[in-house]
C-alpha cells in the first residue's frame, strides 16, 4: 500500500517558461480539490535546501494563469548537485511533513529529482517546463507553443524591414541542443533556410541555397538559426562568411534572446499546464513516483523520469522537407 499522501510540495526549476504559473495553479488547486495540503518552494532546489517556502491554498494562485514567468521564482542550483545539498533539502521536506514533490522544469531538474528519489526514496513527479521542447515523453513541453508564437511575431516584424531594405537577416532563436523552435518558426515565418543542430547544412551549401533564392527573384531573405546550430562558431561568424562569399546582399543579424521565454502563455500552454498539474498530483496520490507527465497522442501519459531524461527527441523530418519545398 502506498503511503497516504496528506501534503505535497511544488517548485519550478531551470530556465523559466510561459505556462509554469498555470501549472503551479493546477497543482495547488488539485491538492485543494482532494483535501490535501500544498506548499510551494521558492527558487527551485535552492529554496528546498534553504527551507524557503510558503503555504499555498486555492486562493493563493488566483490571477496567475495568464502570467509569464513563475511566482515561485526559478534557479539552477549548484548545491543540489551535491549530496550535502540534497540531504538538507530532504530534511526540510521531512520536517514539514511533505509526502511528495512536483518538479516543474527541464531535463536538468528531472535528473536532480531522480537522484533525490534514489537516495531518499522520496516520491517525485515531473512536469516538463521548457521552451526548448527537448524532453522525451511529451509532444509539447510547457512554454514551447507560446515561444513559437513570440518568435513568429518577431520574424514577421523583421521581414517587414528586411524587404524594405532588400536585406538578408540571420535570426537566432533559442534551443541550446535542439532545433524545434527554429524548425517550426522557420516554416511558419517563411524562412529561406533553417539551421538546426540536428542537421549540418555546411557553409557552402548555405551560400549556394541563398544564391539560388536571389536568382529566382527574391530580394530579401530570412535565415532562422537555432542557438545550438554547429555550422558556424556563432551567428556572427555565419554573417561574416556570407558577407565575404555573397555579392550584393546587405546582411544583418538579430538575436532574439530571452524575450522568447517571457509573455503571457498561449491558450494551448494554459490548457496543457492545467492538465499536467492534475495528472501529476493524482498520479502521486495513486502511489506513483519517478514519472514525468506528458502529452502523447492528445492524452496525458506518464513516462519514467530516466527515459524522459535520456530519451532522444526526434526532429520532425517531414517539417524539414516542407521547409525545403516552401523555400523554392
Q: Would you please indicate which residues are annotated as catalytic (active-site) residues? A: 132
**CA-closest candidate to residue 130, choices 86, 180, 172:** 180
How many residues lie near ligand F6P (CB under 6 A)?
Answer: 10
Compare residues 131 and 284 and give the one whose CB is closer to ligand F6P.
131
Give the range of 81-89, 121-129, 130-138, 269-277 binding ligand F6P by CB under 6 A.
Answer: 130-138
Q: Does 131 bind ligand F6P (CB under 6 A)?
A: yes
Q: Does 198 bind ligand F6P (CB under 6 A)?
A: no
Q: Per DSSP, which regions of 153-204 are E strands?
A: 167-173, 193-195
Is there a contact between 126 and 117 (Cβ–Cβ < 8 Å)? no
Q: Does 274 bind ligand F6P (CB under 6 A)?
A: no
**CA-closest candidate to residue 272, choices 144, 108, 151, 183:** 144
* Residue in 12, 21, 130, 327 binding ligand F6P, rule: CB under 6 A: 130
Q: Does 106 bind ligand F6P (CB under 6 A)?
A: yes
Q: Does 77 bind ligand F6P (CB under 6 A)?
A: no
Q: Does 174 bind ligand F6P (CB under 6 A)?
A: yes
Give the range of 1-9, 19-27, 125-133, 296-304 binding ligand F6P by CB under 6 A.
Answer: 125-133
d(CA 126, CA 109): 9
Q: Does 15 bind ligand F6P (CB under 6 A)?
A: yes
d(CA 204, CA 214): 15
Residue 321 neighbours by CB under 8 Å, 6+ apart: none
First to last CA, the chain: 61
Q: Which helix (H) or strand (E) holds 50?
A: helix 45-50
Instruction: Write out the binding residues for ligand F6P, residues 212-251 only, by CB under 6 A.
Output: 227
Compare residues 261 and 279 and give the one whose CB is closer to ligand F6P.
261
Maximal C-alpha separation, the chain: 73
**CA-closest candidate to residue 225, choices 249, 192, 251, 247:** 192
Q: Does 47 bind ligand F6P (CB under 6 A)?
A: no
Q: Does 99 bind ligand F6P (CB under 6 A)?
A: no
Binding residues for ligand F6P, rule: CB under 6 A, are 15, 106, 130-132, 174-176, 227, 261
Amino acid at each position: 500500500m502506498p503511503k497516504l499522501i496528506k501534503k505535497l510540495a511544488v517548485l519550478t526549476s531551470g530556465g523559466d517558461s510561459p505556462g509554469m504559473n498555470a501549472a503551479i495553479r493546477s497543482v495547488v488547486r488539485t491538492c485543494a480539490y482532494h483535501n490535501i495540503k500544498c506548499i510551494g518552494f521558492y527558487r527551485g532546489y535552492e529554496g528546498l535546501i534553504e527551507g524557503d517556502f510558503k503555504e499555498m491554498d486555492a486562493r493563493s494562485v488566483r490571477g496567475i494563469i495568464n502570467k509569464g514567468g513563475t511566482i515561485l521564482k526559478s534557479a539552477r542550483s549548484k548545491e543540489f548537485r551535491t549530496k550535502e545539498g540534497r540531504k538538507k533539502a530532504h530534511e526540510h521536506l521531512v520536517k514539514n511533513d511533505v509526502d511528495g514533490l512536483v518538479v516543474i522544469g527541464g531535463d536538468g531538474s528531472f535528473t536532480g529529482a531522480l537522484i533525490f528519489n534514489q537516495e531518499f526514496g522520496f516520491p517525485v513527479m515531473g512536469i516538463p517546463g521548457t521552451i526548448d521542447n527537448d524532453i522525451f515523453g511529451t509532444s509539447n513541453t510547457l512554454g514551447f507553443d507560446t515561444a513559437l508564437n513570440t518568435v513568429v511575431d518577431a520574424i514577421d516584424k523583421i521581414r517587414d524591414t528586411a524587404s524594405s531594405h532588400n536585406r538578408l537577416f540571420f535570426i537566432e532563436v533559442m534551443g541550446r541542443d535542439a532545433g524545434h523552435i527554429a524548425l517550426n518558426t522557420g516554416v511558419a515565418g517563411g524562412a529561406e533556410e533553417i539551421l538546426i543542430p540536428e542537421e549540418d547544412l555546411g557553409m557552402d551549401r548555405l551560400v549556394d541555397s541563398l544564391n539560388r533564392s536571389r536568382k529566382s527573384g527574391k530580394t530579401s531573405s530570412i535565415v532562422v538559426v537555432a542557438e545550438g546550430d554547429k555550422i558556424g562558431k556563432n551567428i556572427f561568424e555565419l554573417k561574416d562568411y556570407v558577407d565575404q562569399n555573397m555579392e550584393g546582399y546587405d546582411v544583418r543579424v538579430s538575436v532574439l534572446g530571452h524575450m522568447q521565454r517571457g509573455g503571457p502563455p498561449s491558450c494551448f500552454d494554459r490548457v496543457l499546464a492545467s492538465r499536467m498539474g492534475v495528472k501529476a498530483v493524482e498520479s502521486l496520490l495513486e502511489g506513483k513516483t519517478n514519472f514525468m507527465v506528458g502529452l502523447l497522442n492528445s492524452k496525458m501519459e506518464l513516462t519514467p523520469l530516466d527515459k524522459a531524461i535520456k530519451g532522444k527527441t526526434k526532429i520532425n523530418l517531414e517539417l524539414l522537407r516542407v521547409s525545403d519545398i516552401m523555400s523554392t
